[in-house]
Amino acid sequence: MRRLAVREERWPLREAFVIARGAKTEAHVVVAEIAEGPHVGRGEAVPYARYGEEMAGVLAEIDSARAAIDAGADRAALQDLLPAGAARNALDCALWDLAAKQAGVRAWELAGRPRLDPVKTCYTLSLDAPEAMAEAARRHARRPMLKLKIGGADDLDRVEAVRAAAPRTRLIVDANEGLSFEDLTRLAPELARLDVQLVEQPLRVGEDAVLEGWESPVPLCADESLHTRAELADCARRYACVNIKLDKAGGLTEALATAVEARARGLEVMVGCMVATSLAMAPAMIVAQGARFVDLDGPLLLARDRQPGLAITGSMIEPPPAALWG
């Protein structure tokens, strides 16, 4: 007999995490646990206000699926029970974990992969004054890739300061919808000069059709503009890359399908995360196999992670232990 349990958790951050839309000092996550016999599957998700989500609503969404989950609904059925978002992600990942435990195999084997390789994650620098971002970059200059948040009048100064502090590190710039097209066309050649590898979501969702036909000096990546396969056709006309996140896709099931179709459309794949614990990162490791860019640094931003968590040495993330997930 199945039994679904759900709870919310708060995990303090090492320091405030600041993007163009605001700041946060903790990861507020929802954890779903599905017990069946001796096995328990777990999934973690983050309600995200930018997408109209808040904790009470996500908990209510999960509760609306309780009867079906307890009655034995599988991952395929779940896709029709709930829309893409944090609620479905928590349940979907819990069902993957449960199925792996019941089958006595690892979750990546269920996904058709014989093994899971370690991945290198970028490390995110919060939006701050150029001098402060340079100091943060200096502390992390040995990491292979840094992602810096922008979204203000001093954006070029910020990028130049980070580049000077970390001259050998690959850089991603993330605007979180904070630029206008005029800003972007002015800034992009300078970012190319500074050897920036990628610019994430420069324009607001709904305003990015203007990117069609524009040749950006730096590859552009859709984040807020891409949730599931439904947005891929538009993204393929506007972007070179898409950032797939389990919370946006509504779980590992849709995220894997989105990655396959994105590559078929000629798009590069980035795998990202919300700020959360290792339990949320573990299933994303499967999607991250072969991805051009990986941003699964959530646990590195926490004051403490759950135990057991992912083993992270520098920027290298090892496959999750079975005691964590999958």
One-character DSSP codes across 25-42: EEEEEEEEEEEETTEEEE
pLDDT value at 20 more than 90: no
Q: What is the pLDDT of residue 145?
A: 97
Q: What is the pLDDT of residue 16?
A: 79
What's the average model confidence in pLDDT over 163-167?
97
Domain spans in the chain, listed from the N-terminal domain onward = 2-105, 119-317
Query: 22: pLDDT confidence band, cut at 50, 70 and 90?
Result: confident
What's the average model confidence in pLDDT over 173-202?
96
Number of neighbouring beta carbons within 10 Å of residue 196: 22
Place of tokens 């290198």: 120
C-beta of residue 94 within 8 angstroms of C-beta of residue 34: yes
Query: 18: pLDDT confidence band, cut at 50, 70 and 90?
Result: confident
Q: What is the pLDDT of residues 247-292, one digit of tens each?
A: 999 999 999 999 999 999 999 999 999 999 999 999 999 999 999 9
Contacts of 28 (CB under 8 A, 6+ apart): 8, 9, 10, 46, 47, 55
The three-point CA angle 302-120-154 to 5° equals 65
Q: What is the pLDDT of residues 57-105, one digit of tens each?
A: 999 999 999 999 999 999 999 999 999 999 999 999 999 999 999 999 9
What's the average model confidence in pLDDT over 181-190?
96
HEC assignment per residue over 240-309: CEEEECHHHHCCHHHHHHHHHHHHHCCCEEEECCCCCCHHHHHHHHHHCCCCCEECCCHHHHECCCCCCC
Q: pTM for the full model?
A: 0.96
Place of tokens 């979180």: 176
Q: CATH code for 119-317? A: 3.20.20.120
- The residues assigned a catalytic role are 149, 245
What's the average model confidence in pLDDT over 301-313?
97
> What would the two tokens of residue 38 be?
């001796």
> What would the two tokens of residue 118 be?
């370690």
What's the average model confidence in pLDDT over 179-194?
96
Rounded to a whole number, what is the largest CA-CA distance in the chain?
A: 60
β-partners of residue 199 are 173, 220
2-105: CATH topology is: Enolase-like; domain 1 (3.30.390)
pLDDT value at 153 more than 90: no
Query: 27: pLDDT confidence band, cut at 50, 70 and 90?
Result: very high
Chain-wide mean pLDDT for the chain?
A: 96
Query: 50: pLDDT confidence band, cut at 50, 70 and 90?
Result: confident
Q: What is the pLDDT of residue 117?
A: 98
Contacts of 178 (CB under 8 A, 6+ apart): 20, 21, 150, 151, 152, 202
Q: What's the sign of the alpha-carbon dihedral 217, 219, 224, 230? A: positive
